[in-house]
Structure formats: structure tokens, C-alpha cells
């Protein structure tokens, strides 16, 4: 059953439940060490848009695929192998001929230090000149993809910021999705490092405001709506430790007025006390049901925060696809993220049973 806020294409008429468009990088993680001093890294894959589709596939059992591009070399094939382990269809990957040293095209690397206590997490992306950043309108036949039947399409502000052309590709994909009746979600995912050399916050707002007009379900965190859409959250301090849900409700109401196409808005609320202790919550809104708030989890222990917002998005989307109310959907999103942040890596290792238990008020008592 799909949530009343949205009308999805029938599952039986579609080849895919979820398609994401975005970059997938090789994540290199020093574990409990520092990037600058480590002698070894754990490796896996990750990417803001990709993580959402993978979560929907591995945790929630949905049929998914990824539209992305790689340089055709051993690193690209390693990331492909990770994607295959995640269960996503890889037939929509564009492979670019590798020139031998990466002068013309390469694959992205993401060095991620998870932080501890007073030492915050660090993300260092080495993603210039990547295959996906060179993608241009016309490189991929989105009309043919969505004609196969796709219930949900997801992309976001990370992909849109990769180059001067990727926002145009996102718009091309959104128009094709709209034509074929696919629900579109977009995670604002503001990253200052991606925008600073191409116009900064002003350019981010220009791009995201344009793309927002195609979006059915808009997702973001405490700072995304301000940096990406210019919507201020009253009372939020510079360090985002004073998070009043009433202020977010006012901001969401304003967003819904500006963008009448928004059917659902979901916002995570993270109060960072230390790298390993956060206050965690979420609110959501729909035109049918108004505002709902997930269970607030003060002083929640964090092992690895990277990918938490993506896990919220996949849980929320699952709820909107399969559950009856927006309250259930936001509870699933917040609970999935809470579990995902207890393990290392961008991608979730949770199970549907675990998410269902926590969303329903379950505890961390041992299961035997």
C-alpha cells in the first residue's frame, strides 16, 4: 500500500522500484586512526544518491538500479563489484575509456575519518575530472529507462554540484521521470567544498531552486534548506545545537508555499554535541497530513555519521511506498538512520526487522 500523500505507479507495471542518479566513489576509511597518519584503509563504496537506492534494495527489498559513470579500469570495476554486492542493477552504468593515468577521466576517491568525541568527522573527496562529473545532457537515454517503468527516481544536490553540466543532466532526468509518471525525490545535501570553486552558495541556490520545481519529495537537513534554497530557520544557532521543531515547521510551510509541487518534505534534525553523541530526530510534512515528528533521540551514540541522512531518506521513501501514514514513514526514516550510524561505512547494514522494531519503540536489549 502506498501512502495517501503520493500516487505511485503499480509495482506490477514497473521494472524498477527505485532508480538513483549520482556519483559512486571508492571510500577509503582509516578506521579509528587519522587519514594523515594511517598505514591502512578499509575500502567500500558510497555516494549520497547511490546510498539511498542501495538502502532500499538491501534493507527494504526494493528493486533498484543506479545511473552513474566510471572510468573503465580496475578501480571502476572494484566499485562495480561493491554495487553488485549491494544488489543494484548495473546495466545503466556508463563506462568511459581510461587513458592510463587519469588525465582525461578518472574515478572518485573519498577519504573519510569518522571522528571521536571533540574531534569531528572529516571528509576529503578526491573527485575532480571523474567520469560522472563529465556527464552531459544526451549522454544517457532517460526516456527509454523510465519507459520501462520506474516507480521512484532519486537524485540530489551532490550530483548537481559535480560540474557545470550535471545539474542539466539532473533536469533532463527529472523531465523524463515526470513524463512517465515517476515520483521524484531530491536530497539537497549541501556540500560547501563542491560549490566553492563554481560560485559558492549563490550558485548552489540558483541551481537547486531551478531543480526544486520538478520535485515531489524534498529532503534535507538543518542547514540544507538555508544554504541550497535560501530558506532561513528561525532560532537555529551557527553550530546547529539549538533545534526547535516549531522553527522548522515554519520554514517547511514557506517552502511549500514557494514550491506548490512539493507533496512531501522531510527534514532531519541533528544536534551535534560531540562526534559520538548527537541529538537525533526528524520532522516531515505532507499536503494531506500536515506535520509529523519522529521519536526524538537525545544523546544518541554515534559510531559513523556518514550516510545517516541517506539512510533517513531510504527509510522515509520506503514508508511512503509501503506504509499507511506519514507518521510511520518518518519514524522508519529516523529509525533506519539511527541504526545505520551504529556501524562503519556509508551504506546501511540494518535489516527490515531491526528498523521495524526500533520504529515501534523497541530497545537495544540483546536478541537471543
User: What are the pLDDT digits (tens) for 87-114?
Assistant: 999 999 999 999 999 999 999 999 999 9
Tell me, what's the pLDDT at 232?
87
Delimit the domains of the chain by residue range. Answer: 11-359
> What is the mean pLDDT of the segment spanning 298-324?
96
Question: 358 vs 108, 355, 361, CA distance in Å?
Answer: 35, 5, 5
C-alpha angle with apex 119: 109 to 191, nearest 5 degrees? 45
What integer best gives the mean pLDDT of the chain? 94
Q: In whole angstroms, what is the distance from residue 136 CA to residue 165 CA?
A: 6
> Are 10 and 182 contacting, i.e. CB atoms less than 8 angstroms apart?
no
Q: Is 38 exposed, middle or buried (0-12, 13-18, 19+ CB in 10 A)?
A: middle
C-alpha grid cell for residue 365?
536489549
> Are 61 and 74 contacting, i.e. CB atoms less than 8 angstroms apart?
no
Q: In whole angstroms, what is the distance from residue 79 CA to residue 84 CA?
A: 9
What are residue 291's DSSP bridge partners?
Answer: 285
Query: Strand runs (DSSP E) across the chain, as ranges?
Result: 16-21, 25-29, 42-46, 64-71, 93-96, 109-113, 122-126, 150-156, 183-187, 217-220, 264-274, 277-286, 290-293, 297-301
User: What are the pLDDT digits (tens) for 172-220?
Assistant: 999 999 999 999 999 999 999 999 988 999 999 999 999 999 999 999 9
- Most trustworthy range by pLDDT among 14-28, 239-253, 351-365: 14-28
Of 43-52, 128-137, 241-250, 260-269, the poorest mean pLDDT is in: 241-250
Tell me, what's the pLDDT at 237?
60
| Sequence-separated (6 or more) residues with CB below 8 Å from residue 192 | 200, 201, 227
Q: In whole angstroms, what is the distance from residue 152 CA to residue 290 CA?
A: 22
Q: Which of 72, 365, 23 is nearest to 189 (CA)?
A: 23
pTM: 0.95
> Are 91 and 352 contacting, i.e. CB atoms less than 8 angstroms apart?
no
What phi and psi values does residue 343 have, to the nearest 5 degrees? -130, 155
Q: What would be the CATH architecture of the domain defined by 11-359?
A: 3-Layer(aba) Sandwich (3.40)
> What is the mean pLDDT of the segment spanning 320-346?
97
> What is the mean pLDDT of the segment spanning 273-286?
96
Asked if residue 1 has pLDDT above 50, the reply is no
C-alpha grid cell for residue 155?
537524485
> Are 310 and 47 contacting, i.e. CB atoms less than 8 angstroms apart?
no
Q: Which helix (H) or strand (E) holds 284?
A: strand 277-286
> What is the mean pLDDT of the segment spanning 163-175?
97
> What is the mean pLDDT of the segment spanning 44-68?
98
Q: Is 260 exposed, middle or buried (0-12, 13-18, 19+ CB in 10 A)?
A: exposed
Amino acid at each position: 500500500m502506498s501512502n495517501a500523500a503520493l500516487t505511485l505507479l503499480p509495482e506490477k507495471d514497473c521494472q524498477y522500484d527505485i532508480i538513483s542518479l549520482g556519483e559512486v566513489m571508492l571510500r577509503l576509511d582509516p578506521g579509528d586512526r587519522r587519514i594523515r597518519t594511517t598505514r591502512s584503509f578499509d575500502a567500500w563504496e558510497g555516494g549520497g544518491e547511490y546510498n539511498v537506492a542501495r538502502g532500499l534494495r538491501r534493507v527494504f527489498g526494493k528493486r533498484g538500479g543506479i545511473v552513474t559513470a566510471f572510468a573503465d579500469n580496475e578501480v571502476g570495476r572494484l566499485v562495480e563489484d561493491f554495487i553488485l554486492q549491494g544488489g543494484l542493477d548495473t546495466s545503466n552504468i556508463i563506462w568511459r575509456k581510461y587513458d592510463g593515468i587519469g588525465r582525461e577521466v578518472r574515478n572518485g576517491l573519498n577519504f573519510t575519518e569518522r571522528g571521536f568525541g571533540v574531534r569531528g568527522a572529516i571528509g576529503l573527496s578526491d573527485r575532480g575530472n571523474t567520469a560522472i562529473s563529465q556527464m552531459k545532457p544526451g549522454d544517457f537515454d532517460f526516456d527509454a529507462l523510465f519507459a520501462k517503468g520506474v516507480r521512484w527516481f532519486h537524485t540530489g544536490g551532490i550530483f548537481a554540484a559535480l560540474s557545470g553540466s550535471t545539474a542539466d543532466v539532473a533536469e533532463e532526468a527529472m523531465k523524463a521521470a515526470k513524463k512517465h509518471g515517476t515520483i521524484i525525490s531530491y536530497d539537497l545535501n549541501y556540500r560547501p567544498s563542491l560549490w566553492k570553486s563554481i560560485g559558492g552558495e549563490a550558485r548552489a541556490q540558483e541551481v537547486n531552486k531551478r531543480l526544486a520545481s520538478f520535485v515531489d519529495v524534498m529532503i534535507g537537513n538543518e542547514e540544507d534548506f538555508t544554504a541550497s534554497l535560501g530558506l532561513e530557520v528561525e532560532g537555529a544557532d551557527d553550530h546547529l545545537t539549538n533545534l526547535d521543531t516549531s522553527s522548522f515547521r515554519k520554514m517547511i510551510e514557506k517552502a511549500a508555499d514557494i514550491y506548490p509541487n512539493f507533496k512531501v518534505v522531510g527534514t532531519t534534525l541533528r544536534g551535534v554535541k560531540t562526534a559520538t553523541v548527537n541529538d537525533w530526530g526528524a520532522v516531515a510534512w505532507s499536503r494531506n497530513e500536515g506535520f509529523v515528528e519522529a521519536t526524538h533521540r537525545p544523546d544518541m551514540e554515534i559510531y559513523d555519521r556518514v550516510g545517516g541522512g541517506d539512510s533517513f531518506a531510504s527509510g522515509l521513501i520506503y514508508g511512503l511506498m509501503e506504509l499507511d501514514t506519514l507518521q510511520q514513514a518518518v519514524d522508519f526514516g529516523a529509525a533506519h538512520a539511527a541504526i545505520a550510524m551504529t556501524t562503519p561505512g556509508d551504506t546501511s547494514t540494518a535489516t527490515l526487522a531491526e528498523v521495524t522494531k526500533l520504529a515501534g519503540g523497541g530497545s537495544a536489549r540483546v536478541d537471543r
